[in-house]
Amino acid sequence: MTILVDMDDVIERLLARLVECTNEKFHRNATVDQVTDWDIIVAYPGMTKKQVLDFMFEPGFWMTVEPVPGAAEALKHFMDEGHEVYIVTASEYEVINEKMTECLFRLFPFLSWDRVIVTRRKQLIRGDVLIDDGIHNLEGGDYKKILFTAPYNRDYDAEANGMIRVKNWDEIVRIIDGME
């Protein structure tokens, strides 16, 4: 199978790090749980999106982003099983170099650049399954849709929209192993 995997907040914890950085610099105490909308600013009234997202462009930021538990083991497992694994990310072009070197290849050293697809139109990519936390990336895609649960998608009726909601990588492994 060809397994397509989103990067931010599916295999690494970008949002958690952005919230930490923003709280520290702007003396706030928001939690990831309060980010109930795709727009992170919902947890930071009175601030601009740029103030929060600009941390991504600071030198060394991507060195501090942590992995989602179980993601590395699961991706390695799928590759060992003979599946094709591709990271499909809508990353900002300005951060690609740092993000790949300091985050993706640091946390997942068994992946390489030929396993990465950068696009904002994931529906154009062909694969058997896409694991993503963004509803907009799953809707309309010609792949099996696994929605990685997050505060900003928790009120969405995944099942009614043909998606499988999961809360961790153990569940993903069970589903994909069952698809074979």
Q: Please report, as ranges, the residues that interact with Mg ion according to CB under 5 A.
A: 6, 8-9, 133
- 63: DSSP letter: G
- Measured from each CB, the residue nearest to Mg ion is 8
**CB closer to Mg ion, 134 vs 144:** 134
- Residue 39 vs residues 17, 56, 112, 157: alpha-carbon distances, Å: 15, 15, 30, 19
**CB closer to Mg ion, 22 vs 89:** 89
Q: Provide, rounded to whole angstroms, the least separation between the CB of residue 146 and Mg ion.
A: 12
CA end-to-end span of the chain, whole Å?
8
Q: Provide, rounded to whole angstroms, the least separation between the CB of residue 179 and Mg ion.
A: 21
Q: Provide, rounded to whole angstroms, the least separation between the CB of residue 46 and Mg ion.
A: 26
The answer to whether the beta carbons of residues 122 and 88 sit under 8 Å apart is: yes
Can you point out the beta strands (E) in the chain?
Answer: 2-5, 84-89, 116-118, 129-132, 144-148, 163-166
**CB closer to Mg ion, 8 vs 102:** 8
Q: Provide, rounded to whole angstroms, the least separation between the CB of residue 38 and Mg ion.
A: 10
**CB closer to Mg ion, 102 vs 133:** 133
Angstrom distance (rounded) from CA 6 to CA 131: 6
